[in-house]
Amino acid sequence: MIEFEAPKPILMLNTALETVAVNMMRPKSRYFDEHEHEIPWDYINFMHMAMRQTGAGSLAPSEKKPKEGESPKEKRPPIGYQQLAYMLERLSWGDCGMYLVTPGGGLGAAAVEAAGTPEQKEKFLARFRGEKPVFGAMAMTEPQAGSDTAAIRSTAVLDPNTSEWVLNGEKIFVTAGHKSLCESEGFVVVWATIDPTAGRAGMRAFVIPAGTPGVTVTKLEHKLGIRVSDTASIVLQDARVPYDHLLGSAEVVKEPTTKGFKGAMATFDATRPLVAATAVGVARAALEELKSILEKQGVVIRYGIPRQKMTNLEREVIDMEVMLRSAWLLVIKAVWMADNKRANSKEASMSKVRAGDIVTKITQRAVELLGPLGYSREYLIEKWFRDAKISDIYEGTGQINRLIVARNILGYTGRELR
C-alpha cells in the first residue's frame, strides 16, 4: 500500500533541510549564478558534516530491524529513495545548482548500487563515508552518442598480461566530473564497450578513481542554468584500472537484455524520479514566490469558489498548483516502488516526463505573469526559469522518456518503437 504521509524521519529531516535552504542556499543563489564554477565550500563542508552525523543522503534503502515485540508485518518499510526524493526537493527549492554540488556519490554511486556486486558496493562506496567531502559522477554521453546509447564508442580492452582494463574515449556533459576527479578522492563511472560488435550488450560500467593516469578533464561547460554545478568533458587515453573495477560480469551475451545495458537502465530507473524531485523543488519555489509577490500587491487567490467566478490569474495559479501536485505524486510512487524493489521503469520515466514538463511551464508562466518584475534580476524567478530546463534534458530527454513510457504501455521493444 502506498502511503502519502511522509514517515516521521523524513518530516524531521525536512525541517532541517528547509533551514539549510533558507539560510545557506537562497542568500548565495545570485552570487554563485554570477560566479560560474566557483565552488561553495562552506555549503559543501557543512552538508558533508551534517550527512555524516545524520546518515542522510545514502542511496542504500534504510530498512530497519523490527523492534522487540514487533511482528514482521509491522516492520517499517525501507525509505531510502523516498528520503532522497524529499531531501532533493527541499534542497532544489533552495537552489538547484547548489544541490548538485552536495557531496556524495551522485550518479556514480547510483551506478555502483545498480550494477555492482556486494563486494564492489562496499569497496567503492565506503569512501563517501570518510572525513572529507567526496564526489562521484557518471559518464555516458559522448559527442556522437546522446540519447542513442548504442552509439557509444568508448572502448575497454582487457590486457591479458596485467589483467587490467585499458579505456579509451571521450565523454561530455559529465555532471560533477571536475569535482569527482580533481577536487576530491572520488570517482567517475564510465560506460564503455568491451565488444563493439555486440551493440548494447557489450556495454559495461567501469569505476575510474580520481588520479588515474590517462584521465583528463578537458573542458568545463558554460551553461544557461545550474551554473554553480560543473559540467565537464573527460578524455580517457590508455587509462588503466584493475579488473574488478568493471561493475558486474564481463561475460557478453549478444541479446538486448544482458546485464550491461540493464545495469545502465536500472541506474536511470532509480535516479530519474530523483531528478524529477529536483524539478518539483524548483517549480514549487517559483510558484510560492509568485504567490508571495502577488499577495504583497493585494492579489490573494480565492479558493473554494466556482471556477467561472475566478479571475484568469486565479485560474492560472490553481492550474499550476494542480500540475505541481500531480508531478510530486508521480515521484512518490516511483521512489516507493524503488524502495520496495519493484520494477519501476515506466513510473520512473513518467515522473521524469511530468516533472520536466511542469517545471518549465510553471517557471515560464511565473516570469510572464510578473512581466518586467519576473524578467528582471530583482527576484530569483528568472534564475529558476533558466535552471528549470535542464530537468527536461539530462537523465534522458523528455522525448526519450516518453518513448520508454509508450513501450511499457504498448508492449513494444526499442527496435519496434523508436
Active-site residue numbers? 395
Tell me the C-alpha distance between 221 and 229, whole Å: 10
β-pair partners for 166: 157, 240
User: Which residue has cell 533558507?
Assistant: 22
Tell me the C-alpha distance between 316 and 323, whole Å: 11
Q: Which ranges in 297-394 belong to alpha helices (H)?
A: 312-339, 345-370, 372-375, 381-388
Q: Are 43 and 24 in contact (CB under 8 A)?
A: yes
Q: Which ranges in 155-258 belong to alpha helices (H)?
A: 177-182
The C-alpha cell that represents 363 in the structure block: 517557471
Tell me the C-alpha distance between 197 and 201, whole Å: 9
Taking the C-alpha atoms of 341, 345, 346 and 349 in order, what is their torsion angle to the nearest 10 degrees?
120
What is the 8-class DSSP label of residue 415? T
